[in-house]
Amino acid sequence: MSFLRNIDSPERREAAVSLLVEGLGRTASYWRRSFDRSADAVFGHGLLIHKDDEYQGVLLVFSSSREAADGRSRRWLNLSSWYVREAYRNLAVAMLAQVVGERDAVITNLSAKPNVAKILEAFRFQCHSPSLMLAAPLWSNAPGARASVASLGAGELAPFQPRLQEILRDHLQAGWIGGVLSSNVEPAPFLFMPMRKFGLPFAMLAYCADMGLLRQNISSVYRHVLVRGYPLLALPSNELFQDVRGKQVDRFPWYILDRQEDAAPDLLYSEFTYLFKRARS
C-alpha cells in the first residue's frame, strides 16, 4: 500500500520514536534503546503510515527466525507497540494486513489490548492463553515424571542446533534464566525471563523446546528457578497448565497466527526481549 513505509532508515526510525513518545509515553531514549537492541529484518523495525506529508502512525514488528524440527527455517514476527493518530485510524488495519500478508511467517501478539484483540481475531489469530498466573508449584510434577534439570550456560550449548544455540546465547546474555530438561528423549532447553511487579520478583516462562515435558516436571523446574532467587513462576493460564494452582495476575492474551499450525507462541526476540523492564538477576 502506497502510504505504508518500512522503518528501515535513521530518518524513519526517528519518526517512529516521535510517534511512540506522542502516543504511548516513555522517553525517546527508551524507544531508541529498543531499536538498538533489536535486529533489522523483513520490515526493518516495523511500519509507518505516511499521509499528508507526515508520518501519522507506527507499528513495531520484531522479526526473528527459528529452525523447525525438520530443519526448515521459519520467520517469526512479533507485533508490538501500535499507535495511529486519531484522524488516520481508519488506516491502522492496513499495517496489520501488510504483516499478515507474510503467509509463511508465524505472527504473534503477546500483550493485545481488548480493542486490538478483536482485530486480531478478525484476521484469524488464535488466543493461546487468555492471561498469566503466578504460581509456586512445589508439588506439581506429573505422576511418573523422571526428567532431570540441569543448568544452562553459554558454555553448555553444544548439543543443540546452531540456530538454537544462537537464540539461547542471546537470551542468556540478556540475563534470562536457563535450564535443560533431560529424559529418554532429546534434551529440552528452557528459558525464564526474570521480572518484578509490586516489588515482588518472579520468573516468566518464556520458551521451552518441549512444553509438555516442562509441565510434567514443573516442580523440578520451579526448584531450579527458586534457588536463583525467584520464588514465583509466571505461567500462561492455558490448557497445559490448567491444573497448576496459581493466582491470575494479568490479562495478557497471547495471540498467534500460524497457517501451518505447528508452532506455539513464546517470548523470544519479542517485545519482552526488547521493551519490558526485567528484574536484575
Overall average pLDDT of the 221-242 stretch: 93
Q: Reply yes or no on whether the pLDDT at 59 is more than 80.
A: yes
Which residue carries 526428567 as its cell?
Answer: 147
Contact 185, 213 (CB under 8 A): yes
**Residue 153 banded pLDDT, cuts 50, 70, 90:** confident
* 187 & 113 share domain: no
Question: Looking at the domain assignment, is residue 266 inside a domain?
Answer: no
Residue 280 lies in a domain: no
What's this model's pTM, rounded to 2 decimal places? 0.88
Instruction: Confirm whether 278 is domain-assigned.
Output: no
Whole domain around residue 163: which residue ranges?
132-250
- Asked if residue 16 belongs to a domain, the reply is yes
Same domain (yes/no): 151, 164: yes
Is residue 260 assigned to a domain? no
Mean pLDDT of 178-207: 90
Mean pLDDT of 78-93: 94
- Which residue is listed with cell 499521509? 51
Report the pLDDT averaged over residues 110-117: 88
Task: Please tell me the predicted confidence (pLDDT) of residue 15.
Answer: 97
* Residue 60, domain member (yes or no): yes
**Whether residue 64 has pLDDT greater than 90:** no
At 223, list the grid cell: 526448584
Q: Detail the DSSP E strand segments found in the chain.
A: 4-6, 46-51, 54-67, 73-84, 106-109, 126-129, 132-135, 148-151, 177-182, 188-197, 200-208, 233-236, 247-250, 254-257
On the question of pLDDT at 40 being above 60, the answer is no
Regarding whether 151 and 121 lie in a shared domain, the answer is no
What does the pLDDT read at residue 281? Answer: 42
Total count of domains within the chain:
2
Same structural domain, 114 and 136: no
Percent of the chain scoring above 70 in pLDDT: 94
- Where residue 231 sits, what CATH number does that domain have? 3.40.630.30
Amino acid at 205: L
